[in-house]
């Protein structure tokens, strides 16, 4: 939507600002719930596109070097298992949540 990820903190603190941003930028008159629905629909559409394109989620692991090469300054490595990462999609969002 043309928004830098670094501007995320204000929207996390006050989510109602996001529809105001969209109204000011694009003239869209949306509620926060409608913005959430757009996000959910976008993720579901992307997953379905990938499934049809043969891009299975089993191939979504990160490059191996990220699990082994320490990242300065704290020498962190990515240590979330593939099994745990797969659980991110095990969420059922009720169609009537909004």
Q: Is residue 3 domain-resident?
A: no
Report the interhelical angle of 17-26 vs 32-52 (nearest 10°).
80
Hey, is 87 helix, strand or coil? helix
Q: Is the pLDDT confidence value at 93 over 80?
A: no
54 — pLDDT class (breaks 50, 70, 90): confident
* Residue 23 pLDDT > 90: yes
pLDDT at 69: 93
Token pair of 27, please? 């003239």
Residue 58 is predicted with a pLDDT of 67
Say if residue 98's pLDDT is above 70.
Answer: no
**Residue 1 belongs to some domain of the structure:** no
Give a yes or no: residue 2 inside a domain: no
Structure tokens at 43: 């993720």
Give the lowest-confidence range in 2-6, 80-84, 90-94. 90-94
In a domain? residue 33: yes
At 26, the pLDDT band (50, 70, 90 cuts) reads very high
Domain count along the chain: 1
pLDDT > 80? residue 56: no
Residue 94 counted as domain residue: no
Range of the domain at 14: 9-89
For the chain, give the mean pLDDT.
84
Contact 23, 30 (CB under 8 A): yes
**Cα distance between residue 35 and residue 88, in whole Å:** 21
CB-CB contact of 50 with 61 (8 Å): no
Looking at the domain assignment, is residue 69 inside a domain?
A: yes
């Amino acid at each position: 939507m043309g928004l830098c990820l670094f501007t995320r903190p204000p929207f996390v603190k006050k989510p109602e600002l996001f529809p105001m941003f969209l109204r000011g930028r694009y003239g869209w008159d949306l509620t926060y719930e409608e913005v959430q629905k757009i996000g959910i629909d976008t993720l579901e559409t992307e997953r379905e596109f990938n499934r049809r394109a043969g891009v299975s989620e089993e191939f979504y692991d990160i490059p191996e070097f990220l699990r082994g090469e320490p990242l300065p300054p704290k020498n962190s490595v990515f240590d979330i298992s593939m099994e745990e990462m797969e659980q991110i999609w095990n969420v059922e969002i009720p169609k009537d949540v909004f």
